[in-house]
């Protein structure tokens, strides 16, 4: 996208297609200067202690259900005490007729503590410690994906109270589903269609276009690239891609796992620098389904969805037209990428 077309997209309303899902996002760059008199978010100020005796996830403390968190020294994984999915859900039809359709859904939900210290984030941890997080995620994907009825393993992190994190201790979650969730299912369909039509990988080809254009790429190392996708919905959304075609974490070579750990650390630090706060986001890894079927078209990737719009106190909400029509954004992906690149220079 260059020349006159680029200028047009920077100033006038247009829509962009999300090639991973097939859906559209409305871009309204002329609205970026509108005054804001809406809700302002509260920004956390005081630093957290290294150990909090009231935190369920700090080593040695009791959790809400009475279980005790062990005195762990690295990562720690346990089944969520208040899981959204259960492995022993009853079977049988739930709905009635063609319109009232429901079915049981089995699953396993786990919590992954990234570090024993209460006051850290992925941006504060050193490379070896984050590499251990990557290894833990890999082991969990293999273990949960090896259960015969598990078809998808979703690894994610909700960072900050704004994103619904109920505990500030550095941690993430893993949900293993009996069926494919909506977003990965759409991505699987699109990647499969693209591969059949072009005899190539959608995200490999897309990453190459972005690296040549150098408009939306914000961070890169030897093995991974982070960019603001052309179709981004969230103001400072990023997509993280391995440069080599890899399906899931177990496919990464040791040096590539180091590269992923480096990317996780630098992204978290850069986001924190953008607005001078502990930046809230939802991050998730999308890996190949675990349905005992080969998926050569699938390319491992991670999504970062941060809600902050223009400052630490102004947040983007999905309301009105976005709930009833389609997603919409005011800041163009190119403008967001330019602001992010300034952080890492």
d(CA 289, CA 21): 16
DSSP 162: G
| 286 assigned to active site | no
Question: Which residues contact residue 216 at a Cβ distance below 8 angstroms, ignoring those fewer than 6 apart?
Answer: 210, 227, 228, 229, 230, 333, 334, 337
The H-assigned helical ranges of 102-181 are: 127-145
The residue annotated as part of the active site, out of 9, 118, 152, 171, is 171
Q: With contact defined as beta carbons under 8 Å apart, do 327 and 26 qualify?
A: yes
Distance between CA 167 and CA 304 in Å, rounded? 19
DSSP letter at 86?
B
In 61-170, where do the E strands start and end? Answer: 76-79, 107-113, 152-159
Which of 298, 297, 314 shows the shortest CA–CA distance to 306?
A: 314
What is 246-275 written as a DSSP string? Answer: -SSGGGS-HHHHHHHHHHHHHHHHHHHHHH
Contact 20, 202 (CB under 8 A): yes
CA distance 13 to 189: 28
Which contiguous run of DSSP H or E holds residue 80?
none
- The secondary structure element, H or E, covering residue 230 is none
What residues have CB less than 8 Å from 334, skipping those under 6 apart? 6, 9, 10, 215, 216, 228
Task: Point out the residues that are catalytic.
Answer: 171
């Amino acid at each position: 996208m260059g020349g006159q077309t680029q200028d047009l997209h920077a100033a006038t309303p247009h829509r962009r297609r999300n090639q991973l899902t097939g859906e559209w996002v409305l871009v309204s760059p002329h609205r970026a200067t509108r005054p804001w008199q809406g809700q302002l978010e509260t920004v956390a100020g005081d630093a957290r202690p290294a150990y909090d005796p009231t935190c369920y996830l700090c080593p040695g403390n009791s959790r809400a259900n009475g279980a005790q968190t062990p005195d762990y020294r690295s990562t720690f994984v346990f089944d969520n005490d208040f899981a959204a999915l259960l492995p022993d859900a009853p079977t049988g039809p739930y709905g009635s007729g063609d319109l009232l359709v429901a079915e049981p859904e089995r699953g396993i939900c786990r919590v992954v503590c990234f570090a024993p210290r209460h006051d850290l984030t992925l941006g504060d941890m050193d490379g070896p410690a984050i590499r251990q997080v990557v290894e833990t995620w890999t082991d969990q994907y293999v273990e949960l994906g090896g259960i015969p009825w598990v078809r998808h393993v979703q690894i994610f992190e909700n960072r900050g109270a704004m994103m619904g994190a109920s505990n500030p201790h550095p941690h993430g979650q893993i949900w293993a589903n009996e069926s494919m969730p909506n977003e990965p299912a759409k991505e699987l369909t699109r990647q499969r269609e693209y591969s059949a039509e072009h005899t190539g990988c959608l995200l490999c080809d897309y990453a190459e276009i972005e690296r040549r254009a150098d408009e939306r790429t914000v961070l890169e190392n030897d093995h991974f690239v982070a960019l603001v996708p052309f179709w981004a919905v969230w103001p400072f959304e990023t997509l993280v891609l391995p440069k080599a075609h890899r399906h899931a974490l177990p496919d990464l070579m040791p040096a590539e796992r180091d590269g992923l750990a480096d990317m996780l650390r630098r992204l978290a630090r850069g986001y924190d620098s953008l607005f001078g706060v502990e930046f809230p986001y939802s991050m998730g890894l999308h890996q190949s389904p675990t349905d005992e079927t080969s998926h050569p078209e699938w390319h491992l990737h991670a999504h970062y969805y941060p809600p902050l719009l223009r400052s630490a106190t102004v947040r983007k909400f999905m309301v009105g037209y976005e709930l009833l029509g389609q997603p919409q954004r005011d800041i163009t992906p190119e403008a967001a990428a330019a602001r992010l690149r300034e952080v890492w220079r």
